[in-house]
Amino acid sequence: MNMISKSFDPKLVEWRNVKDPENENKEFKVDFDYSLLGYDIKSGRLDMLLRYANLSHCRRHRHVASTLTMVLEGEQHLTEWQSDGSKKSIVRKKGDYAIAGADALPHDERGGEHGGTVLLSMNAPNGILFEYFDENMENGWTLSIEEYVDNWKKGVIYGQRK
């Protein structure tokens, strides 16, 4: 495993910010920080941190990789699109742990009233971490471990539309 950080302490890791100025005045505001902790491309593993300011979101997506989630600070709020078209709300608080299998449901994800920081540990044997969607939950595109790591090394924001 290639270690980027020996700590998951939010005060010690390198953070990179993602903002979507097109959504600045909309209800869905993309504004989050992320940090790569470590990865192993060959085995399909990637560990990262996500940090949300109060009520800000990450991009609409679904996890293609199986994912362990642990809330380190604040809260994580999710709205999942169910297969019948309904939506399910999930709130995780500091210390909560969850694990999802591969091919999770599409969702919005954001911090709580005072933000939130989560640890994601992903296993993607086929190399694909996420599938992203536009604001209408359409026009998907994927992100592989190799693309994520390559973008990190280049200082480029991961998951941009191709």
pLDDT at 47 over 90: yes
- If you average pLDDT over every residue of the chain, what do you get? 89
Cβ-Cβ contacts under 8 Å for 59 (sequence gap 6 or more)? 18, 20, 30, 132, 133, 159
Neighbouring C-alpha atoms within 13 Å toward the C-beta of 83: 2
In contact, 111 and 94? CB cutoff 8 Å: no
> What value does the mean pLDDT take over residues 130-149?
85
> What value does the mean pLDDT take over residues 93-100?
96
pLDDT at 137 over 80: no
> What value does the mean pLDDT take over residues 112-124?
95
Q: What pLDDT shows up at residue 56?
A: 81
Confidence band (pLDDT; 50, 70, 90) for 129? very high
Q: What pLDDT shows up at residue 25?
A: 52
List alpha helices for 29-123, DSSP H.
Answer: none
pLDDT at 29 over 90: no
Residue with tokens 């500091």: 94
Domains and CATH numbers, the chain: 2-154 (2.60.120.10)
62-93: per-residue pLDDT in tens?
A: 899 999 999 999 999 999 989 998 999 999 99
7-19: per-residue pLDDT in tens?
A: 888 889 999 998 8
What is the C-alpha to C-alpha distance for residues 72 and 117, in angstroms, rounded to an integer? Answer: 5
Confidence band (pLDDT; 50, 70, 90) for 24? low
pLDDT at 34 over 80: yes
What length does the chain have? 162
